[in-house]
Amino acid sequence: MLTDEWAGMRVYRSKEGTTWEKQGMILDKPSSRPEDAPSGAHGDVVVVGNKAFVFYFTHPGRKSHSEAALNSDGVLPYSLRRSSIQVAPLVIQGGTLVSERDQPFDFWLPNLN
């Protein structure tokens, strides 16, 4: 399970679906990919075949996800409002779900028609 902590996504694990154990964080550090900073938020997982991907939002004009300083007119500037939708692969390493979003990967959505 993933939960949004507004500074990345918290990863949880459960053997039976009722008791959850914290496993770490994903998307909590900026990526070097264009528009993929500072952290990932509001994520959801899509499984395609035997691969899993996380779709998430970033605010590439911000230094942190929660930064939102108003300008002198009391308006949040466009550079801080805009969002970018990203995708990154998910893998299990050492029993924990991780996402190495800087690594190159192949991705496509199948035609479901």
The percentage of the chain sitting over the pLDDT mark of 70, rounded to a whole number, equals 99
Give domain status of residue 111, yes or no.
no
Give domain status of residue 113, yes or no.
no
Mean pLDDT of the chain: 92
User: Is the Cβ–Cβ distance between 45 and 88 less than 8 Å?
Assistant: no
Pairwise CA distance, residues 53 & 91, whole Å: 9
Please tell me the predicted confidence (pLDDT) of residue 111.
80
pLDDT in tens, 16-41: 999 999 999 999 999 999 999 999 99
Give domain status of residue 107, yes or no.
no
Domain enclosing residue 33, as ranges? 2-68+76-98
| Residues composing the chain | 113
Pairwise CA distance, residues 97 & 14, whole Å: 12
Give domain status of residue 34, yes or no.
yes
Give domain status of residue 106, yes or no.
no
Predicted confidence band of residue 68 (pLDDT cuts 50, 70, 90): confident
Q: How many domains does the chain have?
A: 1
Mean pLDDT of 58-76: 88
3-state secondary structure of 97: strand
User: Is the Cβ–Cβ distance between 39 and 46 less than 8 Å?
Assistant: no
In the block, residue with structure tokens 């499984």: 47
